Amino acid sequence: MPSSRRNGTRPRLKIRSGDQVRVISGKDRGKSGRVLRTEPAKGRVYVEGLNMLKRHMRPQQVRDTRTQAVGGVIEREGPIDVSNVMLLDGKGKPTRVHIEREGAQRIRVAKTTGARLD
């Protein structure tokens, strides 16, 4: 569990929706994609096209109509732990991120190049 959860605060992720990331460990190591959504409380991210899960769905009948929702095997993205992905900078290189503050704003900065990511 992240250390910031001990004092009752939510952990702040340095990765946001829409960021380009590369997976650094697991079955999809080396692949990159766009972050679809994040779950800060669980420390998870969903990356487009990676960690695909197969869900077997039964066709469901929709009320007031005679049509049925499609059933079968549906593929969707599964969660990846935030520690297993690295943010890509503007040049497509993986980088760590640190936070600089300007007044009340938090600005993400790449450790390798010093470039601003926001």
Identify whether 57 is part of a domain: yes
What does the pLDDT look like over 22-68, one tens digit per residue? Answer: 999 999 999 999 999 999 999 999 999 999 999 998 887 777 666 66
Q: What tokens does 26 get?
A: 């697991």
pTM value surpassing 0.75: yes
Residue 1: exposure state from Cβ atoms within 10 A (0-12, 13-18, ≥19) = exposed
Identify whether 106 is part of a domain: no
Q: Which of 6-20, 56-70, 102-116 has the highest mean pLDDT?
A: 102-116
Identify whether 110 is part of a domain: no
Identify whether 33 is part of a domain: yes
Domain extent at residue 57? 3-89
Number of compact structural domains in the chain: 1
Identify whether 32 is part of a domain: yes
CA distance 89 to 93: 6
75 beta partners = 54
Identify whether 99 is part of a domain: no
Query: Which of 5, 28, 116, 4 is closest to 77 using CA atoms?
Result: 28
Q: What tokens does 69 get?
A: 């929702």
Residue 110's contacts (CB-CB under 8 Å, 6 or more residues apart) are 87, 89, 95, 96, 97, 116, 117
- φ, ψ at 30 (rounded to 5°): 90, -15
- Between 41 and 2, where is the model more confident? 41
Q: pLDDT grade, residue 5 (50/70/90)? A: low
Identify whether 112 is part of a domain: no
CATH assignment of the domain containing 51: 2.30.30.30
Q: Report the Cα–Cα distance between both ends of the chain, in Å, rounded.
A: 27
pLDDT score for 6: 65
pLDDT score for 60: 79
Identify whether 45 is part of a domain: yes
